[in-house]
Amino acid sequence: MSSGKSTAPGTPEVIVETRNLTKIYRDFWGRQKVRALKALDLTIYRGEVFGLLGPNGSGKTTTMKLLLGLLFPTEGQALVFGRDATDVSKNERIGYLPEETYLYRFLTGEETLEFFGRLFNMPAAVRRQRTAELLELVGLTAARKRQVREYSKGMARRLGLAQALINDPELILLDEPTTGLDPIGTRAMKDLILRLRDQGKTIIMCSHLLADVQDVCDRIGILYDGELKELGRVDALLKVRDMTEIRFSGGDGALVDEVKQVIERHNGRIHFIGNPTTTLEELFLQIIRESEAHPGRRVRGGISGDGH
């Protein structure tokens, strides 16, 4: 692909693309310390909710920081909206919710949003309106005059989300969006992500909370030890093709046809016949196990997907 635009009609627009993206951390003497990310190739399209999965230290936050330009790649390239990730102007269209909400504790909720609004060169009126809307959206209107230092973790998280949305971004990067949220907050966050997707925004999130990813992501990439182990649509990845599962009740367990016949004969009801799915958790653990057994190999074993 030569540009961020789609190559063919019908193919969605590419928002993020990494080529051979590699990050090596070095110590003071320039000796290699950690190879945090190894030759990552990734393409994310407009309107997707993309999840980056991986255990701690697998390189998902590194990827995110490389995409944001907070880190510089050792090799390869990260393109956001077709521009180099270190280009500041891409930030105009990006919203970022950091892992922990890094906000100035001495500002109030309202001041925080005002401040970040200013950084987007927003006219004062727009800024005020946006601030009010977002505070309402994340439910902090009542707490808008309080300093962030007095916020609970959940409140700070919600304010963090609000600041990420202050510029009505096209691309939203969420680093562990649901940590620190209670179940209701988590639900609301997931709903919001889905709503944003419905508005046509592209969302990249990384998380180790598999249920969250499963609920909202269209596609996921699984990173382990800096390498991309799996990439694909969530539904496809979770489909098990060479197995048939029959779920029925009241039967005593014979061959499928016989069972069918028996069921029909006994006027029984068939609940489900088809390909069963596994859970993301199982998939994830399987990939980790295989990666440990065969390091350096892209996992395409028992569970195959139709990824790109």
What is the binding site for another protein (CB under 8 A)? 65, 68-72, 88-89, 91-92, 94, 96, 98, 100-104, 106-107, 111, 115-116, 118-121, 145-147, 150, 160, 163, 167
User: Given the complex with another protein, which of 149 and 247 has the nearer CB atom?
Assistant: 149
Closer residue to another protein (CB): 145 or 271? 145
Question: Residue 96 CB, nearest distance to another protein (Å)?
Answer: 4
d(CA 107, CA 256): 66
Nearer to another protein, 159 or 283 (CB): 159
Nearer to another protein, 141 or 278 (CB): 141
Shortest CB 61 distance to another protein, Å? 9
DSSP 7: S
- Min. distance of Cβ 57 from another protein in angstroms? 15
Nearer to another protein by Cβ, of 18 and 163: the residue is 163
Q: What 3-state class would DSSP assign to 257? A: helix
Least Å from the CB of residue 189 to another protein: 18
Q: What angle do CA 47, 48, 54 make, to 5 degrees?
A: 155
Distance CA 260, CA 86 (A): 61
Secondary structure (DSSP) of 76-138:
EEEEETTEETT-GGGGGGEEEE-SS----TTSBHHHHHHHHHHHTT--HHHHHHHHHHHHHHT
We find the least distance from the C-beta atom of residue 41 to another protein, in angstroms, to be 20
